[in-house]
Structure 1
Amino acid sequence: MTIEKERQKLNQLAEQYGVRHKAVLHQSMLLDTLINKYNKIKYDDLKRKQPIA
């Protein structure tokens, strides 16, 4: 899964450079974007499956 792959990359960068490094912050934002997209898809799917009344 892409999210897990990007999470692993984030952890590797943090170990290599420290959590405040520019590359780590960039990777963290990328991961946040992927997670937000995933959550939006899941939320929209659940919203459609709920009964109207």
Structure 2
Amino acid sequence: MLAIGPERGWSDRELAMLESREYVGARMGSRILSSPTAVVSAVAIVQEALR
């Protein structure tokens, strides 16, 4: 399952919740993408990795 964060970043509370559920953090680079663009990009990366 992917969790795409908001453009402003995750709050401390949100990060704690994700960590408690054993999510593994990853970044797609240093640029800040709009949420819709980040979703499309992340899904494309995962699909290619699973190919």
TMscore range, shorter length: 0.3 to 0.5
| Structure (1 or 2) with the greater helix fraction | 1
TM-score by length of 1: 0.36
- Give the number of the structure with larger relative contact order, counting CA–CA contacts within 8 Å between residues 6 or more apart: 2
Greater C-alpha Rg: 1
TM-score normalised over the length of structure 2: 0.38
